[in-house]
């Protein structure tokens, strides 16, 4: 299967910047998604990268290196409400069906 690896837990301080890394297998890879999931809730879409480089969207940015099989999610100006699990998911499906293979998620705790 296609392994998606990301740290299990991270802790950061309110107002700070945190980077959540993700590595994935490059064979058959189409694109990389980041989702946010609060405890007991559904995942919500944050970003999608298909080309190398940085995509910025407000306080959140996502980076992709296709050759290295590496992505990161950067969260700036952390707020307490950012405490959640952040799911890295890769698309390995054919014909643009976007079947997602998820990592186990990184549980981020934002502390005052």
Partner 1 sequence: EPEVTQTPSHQVTQMGQEVILRCVPISNHLYFYWYRQILGQKVEFLVSFYNNEISEKSEIFDDQFSVERPDGSNFTLKIRSTKLEDSAMYFCASREALGSYEQYFGPGTRLTVT
Q: Which residues of 74-97 are buried (b: 16+ CB within 10 A; e: fewer)?
A: ebeebeeebbbbbbbbbbbeeeee
Distance in angstroms (rounded) separating the CA atoms of residues 89 and 36 = 11
Minimum separation from the CB atom of position 56 to partner 1 (A): 17
Q: Please identify, among the stretches 8-16, 39-47, 60-68, 70-78, the one whose residues bind partner 1 according to the rule CB under 8 A.
A: 39-47
Residue 60 interacts with partner 1 (CB under 8 A): yes or no: no
What 3-state DSSP class applies to 82? helix
Minimum separation from the CB atom of position 13 to partner 1 (A): 26
Residue 105 interacts with partner 1 (CB under 8 A): yes or no: yes
Distance in angstroms (rounded) separating the CA atoms of residues 49 and 66 = 10
Q: Please identify, among the stretches 7-15, 51-59, 71-79, 89-97, the one whose residues bind partner 1 according to the rule CB under 8 A.
A: 89-97
Residue 90 interacts with partner 1 (CB under 8 A): yes or no: no
């Amino acid at each position: 299967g296609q392994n998606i690896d990301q740290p299990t837990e991270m802790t950061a301080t309110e107002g700070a910047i945190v980077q959540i890394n993700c590595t994935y297998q490059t064979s058959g890879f189409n694109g990389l998604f980041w989702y946010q999931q609060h405890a007991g809730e559904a995942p919500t879409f944050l970003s999608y990268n298909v080309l190398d480089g940085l995509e910025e969207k407000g306080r959140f940015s996502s980076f992709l290196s296709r050759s290295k099989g590496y992505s990161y999610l950067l969260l700036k100006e952390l707020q307490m409400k950012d405490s959640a699990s952040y799911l890295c998911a890769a698309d390995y499906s054919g014909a643009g069906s976007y079947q997602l293979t998820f990592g186990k998620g990184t549980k981020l705790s934002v502390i005052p």
